[in-house]
Amino acid sequence: MYPLKFEDIFKTVVWGGEKIAPFKGVQTEQHNIGESWELSGVKGNESVVANGPLKGHTITELACQYKETLLGKKVYEATGTEFPLLIKFIDARDDLSVQVHPDDTLAGARHNGSKGKTEMWYVVQADEGAHLMAGLSRQTTPQEYESKVNDNTVTEILKDYKVREGDTFFIPAGRVHSIGKGCFIAEIQQTSDITYRIYDFGRLGLDGKPRELHTELAKDAIDYTVLDDYRTHYPQVTDSENTLVSCKYFTTSLFDLSQSVTKDIASLDSFLIAICIDGQGTISDGHGNTIQIRKGETILLPADSLSATFTPEGSMKLLACHL
């Protein structure tokens, strides 16, 4: 196989802004674009290949046809033909709802065998004063949580962070969170679209009606553990691989490049996703295939690639993730 690009899937939402299309260097008639789904195997929102002989095929069709050649043997055995990661850019013109996601066990029991949703955020851009909420700020109970939701004070028990470019947060299933106004984020998550909305700041949806809350469902999904710091701290070495998050669902690294760097893929037994968050350059797969990548683009290197050689044109910053 060869490196693959995919068509954008833009999502119009009540809190969306105007940054995604310019960031990606594309034009669109849509407004209030809050999310660009870069690579998705979510049913009804499967990404479509945009380059080469496989152009027009969905990621699910490729997974069914190429199996471990695309996904890797260990990935295919674990996840089958459902592509296991969902990659997004998120532009928050306003605060997103306070929410939580169930883990695999709870999601499977409640939603017909669905996967849970563990995710991570990398702040690509941040307006002055941009913030987000992640995790509980103090010990609380399910009963107090419910009381706080009912009197619209639930944000008082959440940790609020002022953020800037490069800030990273790991959001395992069960951790209450909200992306705040002014954040432009790359999100990497399990293939799941299950969200329990806890609090929505009293706003109306695009249909002019209040959006549904899931107070009771969320109560049992929340992990009430309190941590001192929910921000992810990581090394920041140029022209090297800097691991941001490594969990059972994905490993994500940052490459801040001024010269070529090669990452082995053959030993991973997994595909590799490269998300360009700044600059431009090329990626070569070890089989003689080279593809251009620029800011706002996402490339999938199949598991049968030998390696990924990232070569910047001047400078380039990438997120790279695999299972």
Q: pLDDT at position 302, please?
A: 98
Looking at 40-79, list the stretches that DSSP marks H as alpha helix, in order from N- to C-terminal side.
59-66, 68-71, 73-79
pLDDT tens string, the chain, 323 residues long: the values are: 999 999 999 999 989 999 999 999 999 888 889 999 999 999 999 999 999 999 999 999 999 999 999 999 999 999 999 999 999 999 999 999 999 999 999 999 999 989 999 999 999 999 999 999 999 999 999 999 999 999 999 999 999 999 999 999 999 999 999 999 999 999 999 999 899 999 999 888 888 888 899 999 999 999 999 999 999 999 999 999 999 999 999 999 999 999 999 999 999 999 999 999 999 999 999 999 999 999 999 999 999 999 999 999 999 999 999 99
Q: pLDDT at position 206, please?
A: 80
pTM comes to: 0.96
Q: pLDDT at position 262, please?
A: 98
How far are the Cα atoms of 48, 86, 102 from residue 38, in angstroms, in the given order? 10, 8, 23
Q: pLDDT at position 31, please?
A: 85
Q: pLDDT at position 193, please?
A: 87
Q: Select which of 93, 138, 164, 197 is catalytic.
A: 197
Q: pLDDT at position 205, please?
A: 81
Cβ neighbours of residue 147 closer than 8 Å, sequence gap 6 or more: none
What are the residue ranges spanned by the domains of the chain? 9-232, 241-322
Fold of 9-232: Jelly Rolls (2.60.120)
Q: pLDDT at position 204, please?
A: 81
Q: Which CATH number does the domain 241-322 belong to among 2.40.160.20, 3.20.20.140, 3.40.50.300, 2.60.120.10? A: 2.60.120.10
Q: Are 244 and 120 in contact (CB under 8 A)?
A: yes
For this structure, is 197 an active site residue? Answer: yes
9-232 and 241-322 agree in CATH topology: yes
